[in-house]
């Protein structure tokens, strides 16, 4: 690591559920199950039904929760689990990576899902670009946050 670069300690995060880990998990999900646009999951795809092609946000949610949340909702009853909180955190990190003007809003404002959705659904977007951007965002997060463990 460059000695002039300052890291931000984050010892309270489970190393399996860091934004970087979930962004890499989303990358793997998309590589294995496919990518879609304009919807969280392509439930009409010819798959086993458990893990259909997903958009970027859907893949991040699946990486965190281990399941397909077909309605795109992280928490229906308002009781967010540690997994859904980790998914929201990872989506905010990714939204900030792809849109330098994005900041998580307190109350109403543009959500991370909206930022990611607009980026994901751009007509010129490719799966290769999604994979590369997820990887770059994960690498960037790891580069500025130390979790106290060896890499």
User: What Rg do the C-alpha atoms of the chain give, in angstroms?
Assistant: 15
Q: What are phi and psi of 75, to 5 degrees?
A: -145, 120
Give the separation between CA 59 and CA 62, rounded to whole angstroms: 5
For 56-67, the pLDDT digits (tens) are 999 999 999 988
Q: What are phi and psi of 82, to 5 degrees?
A: -55, -35
Domain positions in the chain: 14-140
For 7-48, the pLDDT digits (tens) are 444 445 555 689 999 999 999 999 999 999 999 999 888 776
Q: How far apart are the first and last CA of the chain?
A: 12
Cβ proximity of 93 and 71 under 8 Å:
no
For 80-136, the pLDDT digits (tens) are 788 888 999 999 999 999 999 888 765 567 889 999 999 999 999 999 999 999 999
Asked whether residue 71 carries a pLDDT value surpassing 80, the answer given is no
pLDDT value of position 70: 59
């Amino acid at each position: 690591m460059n000695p002039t670069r300052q890291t931000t300690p984050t010892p309270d995060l489970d190393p399996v559920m860091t934004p970087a880990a979930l962004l890499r998990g989303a990358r793997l999900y998309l590589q294995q199950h496919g990518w879609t646009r304009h919807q969280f999951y392509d439930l009409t795809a010819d798959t086993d039904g458990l893990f259909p092609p997903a958009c970027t946000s859907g893949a991040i949610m699946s990486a965190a929760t281990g399941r397909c949340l077909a309605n795109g909702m992280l928490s229906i009853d308002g009781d967010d689990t540690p997994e859904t909180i980790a998914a929201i955190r990872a989506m905010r990190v990714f939204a900030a990576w792809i849109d330098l003007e994005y900041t998580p809003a307190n109350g109403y404002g543009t959500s991370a899902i909206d930022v990611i959705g607009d980026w994901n659904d751009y007509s010129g977007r490719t799966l290769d670009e999604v994979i590369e951007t997820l990887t770059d965002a994960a690498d960037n997060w790891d580069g500025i946050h130390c979790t106290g463990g060896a890499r």
